[in-house]
């Protein structure tokens, strides 16, 4: 039953971030030769941002005197470039999707636990790809293919192949500048065997509401306890603003919404003092906001982790951070390539996982839990 779904939801803490306006926008000559690069150029010109065209296809002038300054310069720079040929060889990204297809790398937000620290080479400048339409067309060759993963349990045959576009950026945080997410949503809206996944901590979703997604895009929102988001997720929309945006995208089209399948990524989960109360408040608020049904929704739970490399970079970017990264409080885990990561201790993990599984199932029995990690 659809119950009073057009009634406004109480909005006590809605705070949208200002749209990111980079101080420097640089196009490479190759990017400007692409029709989609031209479209981005026009969008950015209309916003009256100063535009440079680089002499060659390398972007220079991104280094400051130290890591902090390099960070500041890079986080104020948008480069429009062509993705290199290696970006056309897609990497598996189970269990959240089959393949990752990056429409950009680098992110305008300032999360003090940022997943990009240590995984992107060089200064954290935002690079958006002008040859995106070619990359999208190329993903057709991956449709019907599924990287091996035990969580599929043989269910893959015949289902659409899923493509994740937000592994290295926040796609909605740069959408007003590039239009790349809309391009992807429209493309997969025309595919039967390819589906899109994206995730965001922003809330500017109005430009997505009327796109022909045909149910082929799952719009996911990264959410956390309010205390954690306020303290550690600089430059993003408040949790309440994200919830309102999620509601807009999930509402059926006939009720003025986007009619998208949605997903929640609760991450990074941290056992802060009184964590049960804080996360109960979040889960209750999610249930209040999604007061209509039925909703095509699932959830992913990701606990906080760090590596020696990411800790090192994060402490250079955010020297005064209050993020807990004490190896003595963690369990060490080795990956198959010999790298180390620090996760919560097994007993803490078990307790948190049991809490989230029980509390989720109690509120949302029809919304599958994809995994806990």
Nearer to ligand SF4, 112 or 161 (CB): 112
Binding of ligand SF4 at residue 246 (CB under 6 A)?
Answer: no
Nearer to ligand SF4, 302 or 331 (CB): 302
Binding of ligand SF4 at residue 109 (CB under 6 A)?
Answer: yes
- In the numeric block, which tokens belong to residue 123? 């200064």
Of 81, 104, 107, 171, the one binding ligand SF4 by CB under 6 A: 107
Of 24, 201, 213, 311, the one binding ligand SF4 by CB under 6 A: 201
Binding of ligand SF4 at residue 170 (CB under 6 A)?
Answer: yes
**117 within 8 A of 317, measured Cβ to Cβ:** yes
Nearer to ligand SF4, 43 or 110 (CB): 110
Residue with tokens 């964590």: 275
Nearer to ligand SF4, 161 or 222 (CB): 222
Choose one: 71-79, 110-118, 126-134, 206-214; the region binding ligand SF4 (CB under 6 A).
Answer: 110-118
Q: Give the end-to-end CA distance of the chain in Å, rounded to a whole number.
A: 34
Q: SS in 3 state form for the chain? A: CCCCCCCCCCCCCCCCCCCCCCCEEEECHHHHCCHHHHHHHHHHHHCCCCEEECCCCCCCCCCCCCHHHHHHHHCCEEEEECCCHHHHCCEECCCCCCEECCCEECCCCEECCCCCCCCCCCCCCEEEECCHHHHHHHHHHHCCCCCCCHHHCCCCCCCCEEEECCCCCCCCCCHHHHCHHHHHHHHHHCCCCEEEEEEECCCCCHHHCCCCCCCCEEEEEEECCHHHHHHHEECCCCHHHHHHHHHHHHCCHHHCCCCCCEEEEEEEECCCCCHHHHHHHHHHHHHHHCCCCCCCEEEEEEECCECHHHHHHHHHHCCCCCCCCCHHHEEEEECCCCCEEEEECHHHHHHHHHHHHHHHHHHCCCCCEEEEC
Q: How far is the CB of 20 from ligand SF4 (least distance, A)?
A: 11
Nearer to ligand SF4, 171 or 262 (CB): 171
Choose one: 48-56, 104-112, 132-140, 150-158; the region binding ligand SF4 (CB under 6 A).
Answer: 104-112
**15 within 8 A of 240, measured Cβ to Cβ:** yes
Choose one: 66-74, 108-116, 154-162, 305-313; the region binding ligand SF4 (CB under 6 A).
Answer: 108-116
Size of the site for ligand SF4 (CB under 6 A): 9
Q: How far is the CB of 238 from ligand SF4 (least distance, A)?
A: 14
Q: How far is the CB of 114 from ligand SF4 (least distance, A)?
A: 3
Nearer to ligand SF4, 138 or 204 (CB): 204
By rule CB under 6 A, what string of x and - marks binding of each residue 112-141 to ligand SF4? --xxx-------------------------
Nearer to ligand SF4, 186 or 201 (CB): 201
Contacts for 159 with CB less than 8 Å, ≥ 6 apart? none
Q: How far is the CB of 371 from ligand SF4 (least distance, A)?
A: 19
Choose one: 11-19, 103-111, 136-144, 279-287; the region binding ligand SF4 (CB under 6 A).
Answer: 103-111
**299 within 8 A of 351, measured Cβ to Cβ:** no
Nearer to ligand SF4, 115 or 355 (CB): 115
Binding of ligand SF4 at residue 290 (CB under 6 A)?
Answer: no
Nearer to ligand SF4, 127 or 201 (CB): 201
Q: How far is the CB of 282 from ligand SF4 (least distance, A)?
A: 17
Which stretches of the chain bind ligand SF4, using CB under 6 A?
Answer: 107, 109-111, 114-116, 170, 201
């Amino acid at each position: 039953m659809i119950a009073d779904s057009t009634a406004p939801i109480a909005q006590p803490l809605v705070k949208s971030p200002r749209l990111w306006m980079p101080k420097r926008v640089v196009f490479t000559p190759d990017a400007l030769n692409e029709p989609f690069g031209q479209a981005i150029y026009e969008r950015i010109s209309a916003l009256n941002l100063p535009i440079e065209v680089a002499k060659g296809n390398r972007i220079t002038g991104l280094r400051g005197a130290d890591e902090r300054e390099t960070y500041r310069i890079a986080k104020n720079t948008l480069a429009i470039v062509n993705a290199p040929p290696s970006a056309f060889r897609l990497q598996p990204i189970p269990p959240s999707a089959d393949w990752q297809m990056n429409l950009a790398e680098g992110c305008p937000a300032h999360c003090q636990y940022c997943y990009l620290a240590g995984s992107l080479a060089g200064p954290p400048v935002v690079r958006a790809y002008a040859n995106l339409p070619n990359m999208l067309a190329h993903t057709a060759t991956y449709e019907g293919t599924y990287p091996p993963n035990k969580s599929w349990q043989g269910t893959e045959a015949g289902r659409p192949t899923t493509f994740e576009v937000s592994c290295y950026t926040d796609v909605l945080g740069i959408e007003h500048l590039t239009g790349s997410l809309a391009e992807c949503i429209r493309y997969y809206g025309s595919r039967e065997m390819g589906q899109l996944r994206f995730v965001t901590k922003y809330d500017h979703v109005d430009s997505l509401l009327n796109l022909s997604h045909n149910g082929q895009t799952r719009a996911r929102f990264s959410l956390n306890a309010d205390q954690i988001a306020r303290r550690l997720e600089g430059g993003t929309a408040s949790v309440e603003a994200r919830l309102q945006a999620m509601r807009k995208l999930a509402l059926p089209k006939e009720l003025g919404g986007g009619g998208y399948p949605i997903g929640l990524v609760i991450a990074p989960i941290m056992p802060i003092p009184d964590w049960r109360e804080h996360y109960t408040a979040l889960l209750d608020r999610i249930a209040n906001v999604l007061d209509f049904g039925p909703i095509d929704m699932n959830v992913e739970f990701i606990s906080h982790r760090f590596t020696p490399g990411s800790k090192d970079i994060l402490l250079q970017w955010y020297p005064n951070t209050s993020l807990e990264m004490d190896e003595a409080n963690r369990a060490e885990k080795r990956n198959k390539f010999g790298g180390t990561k620090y996760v919560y201790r097994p007993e803490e993990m078990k307790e948190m996982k049991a809490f989230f599984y029980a509390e989720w199932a109690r509120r949302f029995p029809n919304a599958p839990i994809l995994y806990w990690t």
